[in-house]
Chains A and B, each alone.
Chain A
Amino acid sequence: MNKLDRGLHPAVRFLVHVFFILYVAACIIPLILVFMVSLTEEKTLIANGYSLFPSQLSFDAYSYLFADFDGVVRAYGVTVFVTVVGTIVSLWFTSMFAYGLSRKSFQYRGFFAFVLLFTMLFNGGLVPWYILYSSVLNLTDTIWILIIPLLIVPFHVILMRTFFTLSVPDAIIESAKIDGAGEFRTFFAMIIPISLPVFATIGLFNTLLYWNDWFLSMVFITDERLVSLQYLMYKVMANIQYLQSNSELTASGQAGTILRDMPNESIRMAMVILGMGPILVAYPFFQKYFVKGLTVGAIKG
């Protein structure tokens, strides 16, 4: 920040680093723990509990998950489809709306900005929202219900509008108009190319939003084929819990057999690793843009 600065006293500096190293450990150790548990042999787990340093490694949990490959692959498919389609359509809707709001020559931008902002102030609550989608529009158990409700996030529109207002000079739009370009042409040929940073940022926000969503599935999906990855993880947790808490079921019958054969504990954690995997792989890339995006949002506009 400033070159004259000789920085902190060495002892203080040392303490600051110790503090951050401990905090970083607190952020990362839970993930490593879950990963190690997913690789631990089931009997070892039951005997010793979850541990960072398992005495007996095993890939049972993964082979069990891959034996029921259909379920996992299908959930992956649902999540990937929803994420890709949702992100693209959301970017499209959001950016065009934000573009309109950013145009100074557009008389009604104040009105439409209010239409957007009012949704941040007041809402009808969960119940009317649920009834509209389920009973009126009949979108329960369709893939679209996992996409539509998240298409417009007001905060994202505001971020984009701010970006367009600040970094797209009116002269560009004027000159495009003089050259005979229509609004669509201007938008695609002029605006998008110079606004890639904000598109990347919002695209990543959207990706995360869709990838991590489980609430829409929990509320609207009963069809096994439309279960998303996050919801599958939730169900694995909830089902095993259910089976375990019903000892009568466990003692006899089918549930008992399933439970006995299944490396329950490690499977749960293997599910988490599968569900997190892509996010962790993409994380370094994500993180860079998120920080940029948040900084853009912090600029007043």
Chain B
Amino acid sequence: MRMILRDLWRNKVLLAMMAPALLILLVNNYIPMFGVILAFKNYDYAGGILGSPWAGFSNFKFLFSSTDAWIITRNTVLYNVAFIIINLVLGVTFAILLNEIRSKFLSKLYQSAMFLPYFLSFVVVAYLAYSFLSPELGVLNKFILPWLGLEPRAWYTEAEYWPYILVLVNTWKGIGYFSIIYLAAIIGLDTEYYEAAKMDGANKWQQIVKITVPLLMPVMVIMTLLQIGKIFYSEFGLFYQTPRDVGMIYSTTNVIDTYVYRALMNLGDIGMASAAGLYQSVVGFVLILIANQIVRKYDKDSSLF
């Protein structure tokens, strides 16, 4: 103990430098962790977190006996699986194609344009989506569908279209990011492999399939595992702003994050919101541990811990 105190004292200046960040982590991350007991309580404002009566597992029973639990879990996981596959396949494809572009100027231009959506807030993205999807005025209903000879559709009230819309929006916003990560990795590859392959008469396609993709494998695996670790979480903005919080399409747009938010803010059902939040945290925790173990096995330097 005295040793520890002496060490701490010797590092007092460094510790003082680190203190503000530690304080933020304590308030923003650690104290709320103890709040998970709310999931086992009947919260009342007078009693607060500690004073409220215990509820056992009734919050969980209520949550899992509703159809919501199944729908939000299914939506969260399926959307994430779709995102992971698309980010991987399209990200790598875009990166490989970008790398083949000889004109520096055009390559930069394409990259800049593709990366632009990544910089926009989801409020803006929701507006952009609305300019296409608005039932009365949107470009789709007003121009594109008539041009194709199709009937206009009430996009914001028909649930069946939303899996496609949300996947499209997510891809549009995020693919520039993934492409650039993979492009950076490709640029960093050793050129000797390619020179050797060309000596042996390998064509472009063979080079891509036999060299680029295998050498990219570590980055692809790590990027994918990182996303698998987050498979129980969703980008709140995508699922809240883009569908504009329309109740009729919750069956395909509601995910755990939006469910917890609505249970808390709209219904004021603190018990159930906490239960759903804890369900998400615990399953998320387990998934991250598993993903991390796999990363560790594969590439020790890239694992989280």
Interface of A toward B, CB cutoff 8 Å: 1-2, 4-5, 7-9, 12-13, 16-17, 19-20, 23-24, 26-28, 30-31, 33-34, 37, 45-46, 48-51, 92-94, 96-97, 99-100, 103, 106-108, 112, 114-117, 119-132, 135, 137, 148-149, 151-152, 157, 182-184, 187, 208, 211-215, 219, 230-231, 233-234, 237-238, 241, 265, 268-269, 272, 275-276, 279, 283-284, 286-287, 290-291, 294-295, 298, 300-301
- Smallest distance from the beta carbon of A276 to chain B beta carbons, Å? 6
- Contact of A16 with B172 in the complex, beta carbons under 8 Å: no
Chain B residues contacting A19 (CB-CB under 8 Å) are 97
CA–CA, A94 to B132, complex, Å?
40
- Given A129-B35, A233-B127: A182 and B97 interface contact (C-beta under 8 Å): no
CA–CA, A164 to B38, complex, Å?
40
- Contact of B119 with A148 in the complex, beta carbons under 8 Å: no
**In this complex, which of B102, B123, B138 has the most chain A Cβ atoms within 10 angstroms of its Cβ?**
B123
- Contact of A115 with B281 in the complex, beta carbons under 8 Å: no
Among candidates A33, A49, A241, A295, residue contacting B136 with C-beta atoms closer than 8 Å:
A49
- Given A24-B113, A127-B270: A119 and B29 interface contact (C-beta under 8 Å): yes
Chain B residues contacting A1 (CB-CB under 8 Å) are 99, 186-187, 191, 194
CA–CA, A202 to B26, complex, Å?
22
Counting contact residues on chain B (CB < 8 A from A), the size range is 35 or more
- Smallest distance from the beta carbon of B124 to chain A beta carbons, Å? 6
- Smallest distance from the beta carbon of B87 to chain A beta carbons, Å? 14
- Contact of A237 with B278 in the complex, beta carbons under 8 Å: no
- Contact of A124 with B33 in the complex, beta carbons under 8 Å: yes
- Smallest distance from the beta carbon of B289 to chain A beta carbons, Å? 7
Residue interface mask B246-278, A partner, CB < 8 A = 1? 000000000001001100110000100110111
Q: B206 on the interface (CB 8 Å rule)?
A: no
Among candidates B21, B141, B204, residue contacting A93 with C-beta atoms closer than 8 Å:
B21
- Contact of A152 with B285 in the complex, beta carbons under 8 Å: no
CA–CA, A46 to B120, complex, Å?
27
In the complex, chain B residues 29-48 whose Cβ is within 8 Å of any chain A Cβ: 29-36, 38, 45, 48
- Contact of A130 with B22 in the complex, beta carbons under 8 Å: no
Among candidates A121, A124, A287, residue contacting B112 with C-beta atoms closer than 8 Å:
A287
Q: B117 on the interface (CB 8 Å rule)?
A: yes
Tally the A-B contacts, defined by beta carbons under 8 Å.
286
Q: B219 on the interface (CB 8 Å rule)?
A: yes
- Contact of A30 with B116 in the complex, beta carbons under 8 Å: no
Q: B73 on the interface (CB 8 Å rule)?
A: no
CA–CA, A300 to B299, complex, Å?
10
Among candidates B98, B114, B138, B281, residue contacting A125 with C-beta atoms closer than 8 Å:
B281
Chain B residues contacting A119 (CB-CB under 8 Å) are 25, 29-30
Q: Select from chain A the residue with minimum beta-carbon distance to B175.
A: A23
- Contact of A265 with B17 in the complex, beta carbons under 8 Å: no
Among candidates B22, B131, B244, residue contacting A97 with C-beta atoms closer than 8 Å:
B22
CA–CA, A37 to B304, complex, Å?
46
CA–CA, A26 to B36, complex, Å?
44
- Smallest distance from the beta carbon of B19 to chain A beta carbons, Å? 9
- Smallest distance from the beta carbon of A181 to chain B beta carbons, Å? 11
Q: B185 on the interface (CB 8 Å rule)?
A: yes
Chain B residues contacting A187 (CB-CB under 8 Å) are 17
CA–CA, A148 to B200, complex, Å?
59
Q: List 17 A-B contacts (CB under 8 A).
A: A8-B100, A16-B100, A17-B106, A49-B136, A97-B18, A119-B25, A127-B274, A131-B49, A148-B28, A208-B119, A214-B121, A214-B122, A215-B237, A231-B123, A237-B130, A238-B245, A298-B184
